[in-house]
Copies of this chain bind each other. A is one copy, B any other.
Amino acid sequence: MIIVLEPGITDAEYNHVLEVIEGMGFQVHVSKGVRRTIVGVIGEEDRLRIQPLSAIRGVERVIPVLTPFKLASREFQEEDSVIECGGVKIGGKNVAVIAGPCAVENREMLLEVARRVKKAGASMLRGGAYKPRTSPYSFRGLGKEGLEYLREAGDELNMPVVTEVMDARQVEEVEKYADVLQVGARNMQNFNLLDEVGQRGKPVLLKRGMSASVKELVMSAEYILSNGNARVILCERGIKTFEDSTRNTLDLSAVPNVRQISHLPVIVDPSHATGRAGLVPAMSLAAVAAGASGVMVEVHPSPERALSDGEQSITPDVFDGMMQQLRTIVAAMERELQSGRPGNQEDGG
C-alpha cells in the first residue's frame, strides 16, 4: 500500500498518519520527494485495504499495490483451472460450446433444440427455468417444471445442464436438477447468493455484471472460492456503454485480460452481449480466437415465437453453420473442441 501525502501537510498531521499505520502493526517506509512525500506501508495489504486511510487528514491518495483477490489470482495458482462439469471439461486447451434456448418454454421445444445442438457439436445444454425480466409483465419462466424438462433432456442426450439460480432460496432446489449453477449478470454482486453457491459443491458459471470491471468480476469469484467452492467459470457477456446499436458492448479483450490475472476459465456469451442474432456467429468465432474456454449461445427453433430474447436467438440451422466454422478456428488455435459425452440414445444405438 502506498500513501501519498498532501503537499501542505502539517507536522502534527504527518505524525498522526504514521501513528495510525504503525498502530496497526505495519512498518512504514517514508520517501520525501520534491513535491510530495510518499509513505510505503509494508505488511498484509488485505488488512490495510479495509481501513479508510484516505479519510485521514493530510492524506491525498491511497494506492493499493496488490490485487484485492487472492484465491482466484494467477499468483496463487499459476496453471489454468480446468473445471469438470458433469463430464465436460472447461478450461485449459478445451473449448466447450453451451447451447440451448433462452427460456425453457415447454418439453417438446427443449428436446428439439437439445437434439439439434447436441448433433451439431454442443457439449452442454443451457435453458432458463427462472428468468430475470426487466418488466414484471413478461414471462418469468416455468420454474420447477422447467428444471425437470432440462434434467430429462440432459439425461436423454447425456449433456450436462446449466441453468440460472436467481435467489439464495432457490439454490437447494436448482442444484438437484442442474450440473452447473449460473449466477446471472444482475446478481454478480448479490453477495448472499455468492455465499450460498460457494457453500455448495456444484460448479458455478458466474456472469460479469453489466457495470462490473474485470477486477470486480474476479472479486466476485473470490467470494465463491473463499466459501470453499473452487469450481468457478467466468463469463463475459457484454457491458453497458453508450453504443446503442447492440444490447451491450462485448468486451472481448476481457478474455486475455482475465487470463493474465486469474487461473479461472472464461467463456463468452455473444447472444446477450450483442442482442442481435446476426452478430452471434462472428463473435463466437472471435471469442475462440481470443482464447476463450468456450461460448454460450441461445438457439431457438423459431425465434419469432420465443417467449424471451427471440431477437438474439439463432436457429438450429445457423448454429450448424457456425459450428462448422468454429471447428476450423479451434483447430487453427491448436485447441480441442469438447464434443461432450456420447448421448444415451446413441449409446443404445
Contact = CB atoms under 8 A, between A and B. Distances in A.
A240 interface: yes
Given A55-B311, A134-B216, A240-B242, 11 more contacts: A31-B40, A33-B43, A34-B42, A34-B43, A38-B40, A52-B310, A55-B277, A55-B310, A55-B313, A166-B192, A213-B245
A45 to B, nearest CB: 8
Interface stretch (A115-123, A145-153, A174-182, A288-296): A288-296
A239 B249 contact: yes
Contacts of A53: 304
30 contacts: A31-B42, A35-B75, A36-B65, A38-B65, A40-B40, A50-B135, A51-B310, A55-B306, A55-B311, A56-B304, A68-B134, A134-B189, A136-B191, A166-B190, A167-B167, A167-B168, A169-B192, A211-B239, A214-B243, A239-B243, A241-B249, A249-B249, A249-B251, A250-B253, A257-B274, A282-B290, A286-B290, A289-B290, A328-B333, A329-B333
A181 to B, nearest CB: 15
B168 A135 contact: no
A279 B222 CA distance: 24
Contacts of A44: 34
A244 interface: yes
B252 A68 contact: no
Contacts of A252: 250, 252, 283, 286
**Majority SS of interface residues in chain A?**
mixed
A285 interface: yes
B166 A46 contact: no
Interface in A124-173: 132-140, 166-169
Contacts of A304: 20, 52-53, 55-57
A107 interface: no
Contact of A245 (B136, B214, B255): B214
A69 to B, nearest CB: 8
Contact of A222 (B38, B135, B251, B283): B135
Residue with the greatest number of chain B CB neighbours at <10 A, chosen from A45, A277, A289, A325? A289
Interface in A15-34: 20, 29, 31-34
A87 interface: no
Interface of A: 2, 4, 7, 20, 29, 31-36, 38, 40, 42-46, 49-57, 63, 65-66, 68-69, 75, 132-140, 166-169, 186-187, 189-194, 209-211, 213-216, 219-220, 222-223, 226-227, 239-246, 249-257, 260, 270, 273-274, 276-279, 282-283, 285-291, 303-307, 309-311, 313, 325, 328-329, 331-333
B288 A289 contact: yes
A204 to B, nearest CB: 14
A75 B54 CA distance: 19
Contacts of A137: 46, 49-50, 226
Residue with the greatest number of chain B CB neighbours at <10 A, chosen from A50, A211, A220, A222? A211
Contacts of A55: 277, 303-304, 306, 310-311, 313
A333 B331 CA distance: 12
Contacts of A213: 242-245
A282 B276 CA distance: 24
